[in-house]
Homo-oligomer: A and B are copies of this chain.
Amino acid sequence: MNVAPIKTRIFKEREDLTAFITAYIPKIKDGTVLAVTSKIVALSEGRTATPKNKKEKERIIRAESEWAVESYPGWWLTIKDGTFVINAGVDDSNAGGKVVLLPKDSFRVAAKIRTELKKRYRIKRLGVIITDSRVAPLRKGVFGMALGYAGIRGLRDYRGKPDIFGRTLEVTEVGVADSLAAAAALVMGEGKERQPLSIIENAPVEFCEKVNRKELRIPRKDDIYRPLFRTTKRREKL
């Protein structure tokens, strides 16, 4: 698997995403996955704001999230689109004074870009992943995750398949889209690299025409982490 970042100029608000991508990527091989950072997707949608103070930023964060709790002054643990994210993704790094929100619908954007790029590059199998940066509990360091995607299966399902001893695997599903996003985000960087795109070739992915946008969601009651979601005192102290 090869993962290569693409250096670009600074993306401007309300710019056309597909035109920007094709300006920097003249050719793409069939069977490629293109990673696009959520920041330029949000900018293309004009998803920015200019909060005058902390209170206003807090209002935006709350409006953007399905669940929010202030962990530290100004730092919120939130759930947005079913996943944990700091401050609902409202971010002031690389935003030129404004704050940039998360894209409105990353799955829809991924599908749109994919349709346009497939036509432009005259290829059939193309994956598009919109990446975002997240943190895991009890762990330092941000890593990429797939906010939305098109053209690939988000999971590789091993359930019912044999292991190396022929024993049937019970539960393993591999987070393909998230793992690709982690690799892509690593090479794209988080600072002044200006590498909002990344080309992934020879990845172990299954290409497909239609994706299930709820594929990576897990109901809270089915989540192994559910003991943390309970608010009662019955849980053993962590």
User: Which residues of chain A have a CB within 8 Å of any CB of chain B?
Assistant: 1-4, 10, 67, 69, 71-72, 75, 77, 79, 82-84, 86, 92-97, 133-145, 154-155, 158, 161-165, 167, 169-170, 172-180, 182-183, 185-187, 189-192, 194, 203-204, 215-218, 220, 223-229, 231-233, 235-238
Contact = CB atoms under 8 A, between A and B. Distances in A.
A144 B187 CA distance: 17
A223 B84 CA distance: 13
Contact of A169 (B93, B96, B164, B224): B93
A166 B93 CA distance: 10
A233 B226 CA distance: 16
Query: How many copies are assembled?
Result: 2
Contact of A182 (B2, B82, B182): B182
Given A10-B164, A174-B186, A182-B183, A139 B83 contact: yes
A172 B191 contact: yes
- Which of A97, A183, A215 has most B Cβ within 10 Å? A183
Contacts of A86: 224
Contacts of A135: 175, 224-225
9 cross-chain pairs, A with B, having the tightest CB-CB distances, nearest first: A141-B175, A183-B183, A182-B182, A137-B225, A179-B186, A228-B228, A94-B163, A69-B227, A96-B165
10 contacts: A2-B3, A10-B164, A77-B224, A84-B225, A94-B164, A136-B136, A141-B176, A141-B216, A158-B190, A163-B191
Contacts of A144: 179
A165 B92 CA distance: 11
A142 B192 contact: no
B1 A137 contact: no
Given A164-B10, A179-B185, A183-B182, A141 B238 contact: no
